[in-house]
Structure 1
Amino acid sequence: MAQIFISAGHGGYEDGVADPGLVLASTTEAAEMIQVRDLVVAELRSRGLPVLAVPDDLSTAQGIAWINMRCQPQDVALEIHGGAYSDPGVRGSSVFYIAQNEVRRSHAEILLLALRRRVTQLPSRGAKPDTESPTGWLDFTRSLRCPSLLMELGHLTSPQDLAIIQNQRRDVALGLADGLASWSRSVAPVAAAATTTPSASTFPEIRISINGGIYPETGIIVNNNSYVPVDLADLLGVNLTNAPNITRLRYGNVVYIKAVDLRSYNVSVNWNGETRTLLLRSATGMGICPGSMDRLMGLGSSSEVQLIMFLKTVNEAAVTQYQDLAKLYREESAIEGINHDIAFCQMLVETNSLHFGSGLNPAHNNFGGLGSPTGGPEGSSFPTARIGVRAQIQHLKAYGSLEPLIQSQVDPRFQFVRRGVAPLVDQLTGRWNSDPDYGRKILAFMRRLYESAGML
């Protein structure tokens, strides 16, 4: 019988330190998710369904390895988290699935529908590809050998959502149990059929198109995900030598990799269902210069209209409130030689997509999250949006170049930077921001920008 795995987000140990996740005044994310998880496990077992709870003392990587040691293709795995946002009015549940997998998206919708039937007061924020997560990649949706989803059960920073999770915990657990049971039933027959197929045709074949031309070798479909021969990565200019997170499998004496994982190497990955063809485009095939995407100094690839349309997808209200912001970023970046795509996406990370919070105030025009020159907690403030953008651009130039400023200095911390010490986006991590995923988050926004513009 198919098994169901369920993990409570956080609660384990990362780098030897207990990880409670989001910490609130009276509770933690780990405490809330563990209580819900335990009720779900008890309910599923009462229905005679085999369910395994991931031990709470494991790190994220250890938890994934624990599941992979025990799971089969017909099993399913869910990790539950609590969402957090600077605006307490943001609420609701969402489920993340591996990008480019429409079957997994339908599984995510099964979970959301089941939860809403039991807890009608909890809004649904929908099924989302994991490329829309802050880092553009979720290990739980990418690294498991069985179908997996990651759910934000509700926003713990919302008083309404937190009250529902705490006061209607039994109903929440019943909704999750209903969804998991339905999801498991939908997966098991398909997986069982695949395992009884003759070995020569276990995995269906698909065509592969690279930069508009058909590749002579075929790919395969495994667990509803497209896989391509590993040698194809070299043709796309992707070096996977030191890439332990890339999923590999050996089939028919050929090593295959999961196609969607190439997206992290700036390869466009799309699917034509009518012709059953995987569509891949390299960065050079999209007109993006090799090695330029993550370099602070250089030219951006997006137009003003493309920046505005992308902003609309992440914060529609901001398009009206900041209607000149895209123009300002292109103009100010061009003067100092900064890649405006990087600067714009960094602004989205620092300002929570112009929702602000985390100590930033819209009235300060501090779009780059620049600190005070005196070290105070309030950060810097600028008289206009243009000056605020200019200060951010100048600070990026301080890190990315040894060249002098073209315009008069408005960045209050320019002189504190060792010039040219961080020419790449990821090198801003730990310098501009202490978030260990800071660079990844900026690049994740850039990939979404290029996707929305048809460049990726």
Structure 2
Amino acid sequence: MQTFRTVLYVKRKGLYNKYMVRKVVFVAVATSMVYTGGMLPVSSKHITYAQSNKGSLYSVTSVPLSQLLEEKQPIIGESIATEEQMLAFARAVNPNFPAELPKLYLEIGKKYGIRGDIAFCQMIKETGYHRFGGIVEANQYNYAGIGATGNSKTNKGNSFQSPEQGVLAHIQHLYAYATKQNLPQGEKLVDPRFKYVARGIAPSWQDLNGRWAVPGKGYGEDILRIYYQMLQTPTSSEIQ
């Protein structure tokens, strides 16, 4: 691991405390954190950050899964997982998992302020690691089951023209649930069910229970369990 030194500001009780950090950053008590690379999401507490030999941050969960699930995890925020980490995790189950999807989720998620790495985990849950097998088919590029309700074999839900459009629709649907804000400037709406969402009704992943999926008991927690596992996935380039 490359040695580095930076300044960490941890906000506690409204005040920022200054710390010098070397090699590893432990964020066990942070409610908001600023480091030299930008902002980290509120839910980044209880995550250990370290720097790879390429200068990027990677993360390892440092608390029990039960503790992660007990705290509301916001949909809005920055991603933590790396593209390589996401692909390695998915391909451990499905060796034919499309290589372009992690990058699309990270890039489009960042544009909308959505945690694209967790949206990726929702896609994994909805599609069975891109193996599908339910009423939605792979060639629909519908990664979130948008418009697919019940067990109907005729109503397969919405279809999109490309993987990029499918990921965009997914991120926009999450955006509708998580915030009342307008779409980012210049963005075109492609989610056909955006208008049916009560805007801002589900700011956290756990709030999707009974809303995104019905009855949906434990739906958000299932997504976070996948996320927890993914964050622990090592990649060949992160630690050398």
For residues 374-405 of structure 1, the C-alpha deviation after alignment (integer angstroms, 9 at most, x for no partner) is x9722000000000000000000000011111
RMSD: 2.7
Deviation at 1:437, TM superposition (A): 2.2
- Would you say the 8 A contact 2:135–2:148 is kept in 1? no
- Would you say the 8 A contact 2:178–2:204 is kept in 1? yes
Q: Which residue of 2 aligns with 1:405?
A: 183
Q: Which residue of 2 aligns with 1:265?
A: 67
For residues 300-341 of structure 1, the C-alpha deviation after alignment (integer angstroms, 9 at most, x for no partner) is 1011111111112221221xxx11111111111111110012
Q: Which residue of 2 aligns with 1:307?
A: 86
- Would you say the 8 A contact 2:136–2:148 is kept in 1? no
Whole-angstrom CA distance in 2 between matches of 1:314 and 1:296:
25
Whole-angstrom CA distance in 2 between matches of 1:266 and 1:335:
25
- Would you say the 8 A contact 1:294–1:342 is kept in 2? no
Q: How does 1:37-436 map to 2 (within 5 A)?
A: 262-266=64-68, 294-318=73-97, 322-371=98-147, 377-406=155-184, 407-434=187-214, 435-436=216-217
Whole-angstrom CA distance in 2 between matches of 1:393 and 1:378:
20
Aligned residue pairs total 171
Whole-angstrom CA distance in 2 between matches of 1:450 and 1:296:
17
- Would you say the 8 A contact 2:78–2:110 is kept in 1? yes
Whole-angstrom CA distance in 2 between matches of 1:380 and 1:265:
36
* TM-score w.r.t. length of structure 1: 0.35
Q: Partner letter of residue 385 of structure 1? A: P
Percent identity, please: 35
Whole-angstrom CA distance in 1 between matches of 2:63 and 2:164:
38
Whole-angstrom CA distance in 2 between matches of 1:448 and 1:261:
12
Q: Partner letter of residue 312 of structure 1? A: R
Deviation at 1:444, TM superposition (A): 0.5
For residues 397-439 of structure 1, the C-alpha deviation after alignment (integer angstroms, 9 at most, x for no partner) is 0000111112100000001111110001011111111231211
Secondary structure of the 1:266 match is: helix
Secondary structure of the 1:316 match is: coil
Whole-angstrom CA distance in 2 between matches of 1:262 and 1:345:
19
Tell me if 1:448 matches 2:229: yes
* Structure 2 segments unaligned to the other structure (5+ residues): 1-25, 27-44, 47-61
* TM-score w.r.t. length of structure 2: 0.65
Whole-angstrom CA distance in 1 between matches of 2:173 and 2:120:
14
- Would you say the 8 A contact 1:298–1:339 is kept in 2? yes
- Would you say the 8 A contact 1:332–1:393 is kept in 2? yes
Deviation at 1:261, TM superposition (A): 9.0
Secondary structure of the 2:64 match is: helix
* Structure 1 segments unaligned to the other structure (5+ residues): 1-210, 212-235, 238-259, 268-290
Deviation at 1:262, TM superposition (A): 3.0
* Structure ranking higher on relative contact order (CA contacts 8 Å, 6+ apart): 2
- Would you say the 8 A contact 2:140–2:161 is kept in 1? yes
Q: Partner letter of residue 264 of structure 1? A: S
Whole-angstrom CA distance in 2 between matches of 1:453 and 1:446:
14
- Would you say the 8 A contact 1:422–1:428 is kept in 2? yes
Secondary structure of the 1:314 match is: coil
Q: Partner letter of residue 262 of structure 1? A: P
- Would you say the 8 A contact 1:372–1:412 is kept in 2? no
Tell me if 1:438 matches 2:219: yes
Select the structure that is richer in helix.
1
Whole-angstrom CA distance in 2 between matches of 1:261 and 1:332:
29
Q: Partner letter of residue 169 of structure 2? A: A
Q: Partner letter of residue 306 of structure 1? A: Q
- Would you say the 8 A contact 1:315–1:354 is kept in 2? yes
For residues 149-194 of structure 1, the C-alpha deviation after alignment (integer angstroms, 9 at most, x for no partner) is xxxxxxxxxxxxxxxxxxxxxxxxxxxxxxxxxxxxxxxxxxxxxx
